Amino acid sequence: MSLSKSIIFSAIQPSGQLTLGNYIGTISHWMHMQDIYHCIYSIADLHAITVNQNKKLFRKNIFDTLALYLAVGVNPKKSIIFLQSEVQEHCQLNWILNCHTHFGELMRMTQFKKKSKVNSSNINIGLFNYPILMAADILLYQSHKVLVGKDQMQHVELVRDIAKRLNFLYGHIVTVPEVYIPNINGAKIMALLNPNNKMSKSDNNINNVIFLLDNHESILKKITRSVTDSDNKIFYDIKNKPGISNLLNIYSSLTGISIAVLENMLMNTTYKHFKLLVAQSISEKLLQLQEQFYYFKNKKNYLRDILDFGACVAKKQAKKTMKKIYNVLGL
Ligand code: AQP
């Protein structure tokens, strides 16, 4: 890596089919980052096993996620793309960071609280430990920026605290990363039937979620049924009109038109017609993406080669950081 560009890190768990939230919040920005930063894009499979996975489906989701990375324009010649479990240093650093993170800090994490409620029969230590593994992912590569959606902001704040603690104790050994949210309107896309909850790939109700591989009929059906309100006026008001505000966020993110301009443009439009416009804009984007996805999905050897190469390059950088850390700890 040359020193002229900053390092940006971003990752997605292959815990299901990727959603419109994942797309708008993160991967739609990845291609453009490649000319500005050294980009490191990981498939966070170790994070995904905090929830029980079906082995066959899990393998499929891992390679589908990779094909989607390529479909959005991530270029393996420009960016490092790798599978988290294939770089063992993530687990190695995870243990060291466990010993530098306080129980109380993890107890404050809202994602843990939410996920514990949803997975009440399997509140495992991995679920609790999740942000520390995330810290390892980020700090191993001396990342300057972490590209995430809003839901991950609290975790990145914790990563910063851990990094500062390490540097305070041992001298400057890791880069303190900054959170990077490229588009604030798309930083938290909400569930369609319950716009007070985040759209998530593991949602039990598929009607809450637009999946990146949904077809037009399904998109239209889900958007048409999405929960709004009864006053039939289109303007942004997250508190009183969460459904309409969510649709405005989606539409604005996909078209690049600001919310203020949209409010003007849609002043005399009915909800019914607005929903059609939103569905149309999603379908147009996803259709292009799906064409590329199916093209890459069938290139099995190519996908495997990308992961092998990515792991090799990532390992080199990861080993450097581990050496530094082992050294200061006296290990
Ligand atoms: N609804 C969303 N809106 C905007 N950004 C989102 N992200 C996730 N959901 C939205 C961002 O996508 C990146 C990858 O997320 P992840 O797969 O690592 O985990 P997550 O945040 O827990 O995403 P999901 O879809 O909700 O997964 P499950 O259901 O498995 O927990 C992150 O940068 C995230 O902010």
Q: Are 8 and 182 contacting, i.e. CB atoms less than 8 angstroms apart?
A: no
Q: What is the pLDDT of residue 2?
A: 53
> If you search the block for the tokens 């393998």, which residue do you land on?
59
- The answer, yes or no, to whether residue 1 has pLDDT greater than 60, is no
Instruction: Confirm or reject CATH 3.40.50.620 for domain 7-181+299-329, answering yes or no.
Output: yes
| Predicted structure pTM score | 0.95
| Token representation of residue 238 | 């997250």
Residue range(s) in the chain whose domain bears CATH number 3.40.50.620: 7-181+299-329
Residue range(s) in the chain whose domain bears CATH number 1.10.240.10: 206-294
Average pLDDT, the chain: 96
For residue 53, how far is its CA from the centre of ligand 1 (angstroms)?
A: 17
Q: Rounded to an integer, what distance in angstroms lies between the CA atom of residue 133 and that of residue 154?
A: 14
Atom of ligand 1 nearest to the CA of 44: 18
Asked whether 26 lines ligand 1 (CB < 6 A), one says yes
Q: Are 192 and 207 contacting, i.e. CB atoms less than 8 angstroms apart?
A: yes
Residue 131 CB-density burial (10 A; 0-12 exposed, 13-18 middle, 19+ buried): buried
For residue 22, how far is its CA from the centre of ligand 1 (angstroms)?
A: 5
Average pLDDT value for residue range 119-126: 91
Establish whether 320 is a catalytic residue.
no
> Minimum mean pLDDT among 116-120, 141-145, 163-167, 223-227: which range?
116-120
Q: Rounded to an integer, what distance in angstroms lies between the CA atom of residue 167 and that of residue 173?
A: 6
Asked whether 188 lines ligand 1 (CB < 6 A), one says yes
Q: What percentage of the chain's residues is helix, strand, coil (to nearest 5)?
A: 60, 10, 35
Q: Rounded to an integer, what distance in angstroms lies between the CA atom of residue 128 and that of residue 125?
A: 5
Handedness of CA 39, 41, 46, 51 (dihedral sign): positive
Q: Rounded to an integer, what distance in angstroms lies between the CA atom of residue 209 and that of residue 141?
A: 32
Topology (CATH) of 206-294: Tyrosyl-Transfer RNA Synthetase (1.10.240)
For helices 125-139 and 153-170, the axis angle rounded to 10 degrees is 60
Average pLDDT value for residue range 107-128: 92
- The answer, yes or no, to whether residue 3 has pLDDT greater than 90, is no
Residue 265 — very low, low, confident or very high, per pLDDT cuts 50/70/90?
Answer: very high
